Structure 1
C-alpha cells in the first residue's frame, strides 16, 4: 500500500496563505496556488474539497487560538468575582494592550479573517466574533449593574452595537497592515476613545476602598 506523501502539505498551505493574503478569497486561484507549491491540482483535491476547504485549513490554527482565548476570557463565574475584580475588568489600559499583543501574534491568520475572507464560509467572521464576545462581556456588565456598581441600564442589543463599534477599531489596523509600532499608538487611541467606566457608569478601580 502506498504511503501518503504529507511532505507537500506545508507548501500547499503556505502558498495558499500568501495567495489569499495577496488577492483575497474570491480572486485567489487554486491553479496558481498549485503552481507556486509545485503540486498538481489532483494532489490538492486529494487533500481539500475545494477553495473554501483550503481557506478553512489555512485559518484553522488561528480560529482555534481565538476560540481558546475567548473562552478563557468569557467563561468566568462573574458571581464569584469581587467588586474590585468586576470593575477592574473594564480597565482598558491593561486589557487592550494584551488583546493587541495576542492578535499581533496571529497577524496573518487574523488578517485573512477580517480582510480576505469575503465569499468564504468565514465571510461573516467579524459579526460572529462580536456575538461571542458580547455574551461574556454582557455577563460582566449585568453583574456589575446588579450590584449597583454600574449606573446605566444597557440592553443586550445596545451592548452589541457598542461592541461592534469597539471591535471594528481592533479589526481596522490589521486590515491596514499596521506594524507593532503603529499598533501600540493605535491601542492608546482606542483606550482614550472607549471610556467604559464613563459609558456604563462604573467607578474606576482607584475609587473603590
Structure 2
C-alpha cells in the first residue's frame, strides 16, 4: 500500500488561504488553488469533500482557539467566585484584554477570513453566533452580580446583545483593516476606555 504524500497538505492549505483571502470563499477557484499548489484536483478530493471543507480546514485552528477562549470564560461556576472576583471581572483593563488581541493576532490571516470572507460556508454566520455566546456569558456574570446586590442597573438580554455586538465589532475591525501590532495595542487601550462595563451595569464594589 502506498504512503500518502503528506508534503502536499501544507502547500495546499497555504495556496487555499491565499486564494480565499484574495477572492473570498464564493469567488475563489479550486482550479486556481490547485495550480498554485502544483497539485491535481484529485489530490484535493482525496482529502476534502470540496471547496467548503477546504475553507473550513484553513480556519479550523482559529475556530478552535476562539471556542477554547470562550469556554475558559463562560464554563465556570460563578457561585464559587468571591465578591471581589465578580467585581474585577467587569473592569476593562489593558492587561485583561490584550491576551485576546494577542491570540487573534497570532491567527490574524485566518481570523480575517473567518469574520469577513466566509459567506457561502457553514461559518458565514460566525460573528452573529459568537456574539450570542458572548452575550449569554455576560448575562450570566451580570445576573450573578445582580443577585449579590452589586449591579444596580436593570439591563435586558436584548440590550446586552446590542452592546456585545458593538464590542465584538470593535475587536474585529483592526483585523479587517490589517492593523500592525503596535496599532492593535493602542486600539486595545482605546476599547478599554470606551467600554466601561462598570458604568453600564452600575457596579458597586462589595463591602
Separation of aligned partners in 1, 2:129 and 2:96: 21
Q: What residue ranges of structure 1 are gaps of 5+ in the alignment?
A: none
> Hey, what does 1:40 align to over in structure 2?
40
Instruction: Give 1:62 shift.
Output: 1.2
The whole-number CA distance in structure 2 between the counterparts of 1:133 and 1:151 is 21
TM-score scaled to structure 2, two decimals? 0.95
What is the root-mean-square deviation of aligned Cα atoms in Å?
1.3
Aligned length: 206
How much has 1:95 moved relative to structure 2? 2.1
Distance in 2 separating the partners of 1:145 and 1:122: 34
1:6 aligned to 2:12? no
1:63 maps to 2:63? yes
Corresponding position of 1:191 = 192
Q: What residue number does 1:202 align with?
A: 203
Q: CA deviation at 1:98?
A: 2.0
Shift of 1:208: 4.9
| Structure 2, unpaired ranges of 5+ | none
Residue 50 (structure 1) shift? 1.1
Measured after TM superposition, the shift of residue 28 of structure 1 is: 1.0
Alignment pair present for 1:154 and 2:155:
yes
1:44-78 CA-partner distances (Å, limit 9, x unpaired): 11111111110001111111111111101111111
Residues in 2 aligned to 1:138 and 1:129: alpha-carbon distance in whole angstroms = 14
Is residue 120 of structure 1 aligned with residue 121 of structure 2? yes
Provide the TM-score with structure 1 as the length reference. 0.94
Structure 1 runs of 4+ aligned residues shifted over 4 Å read: none
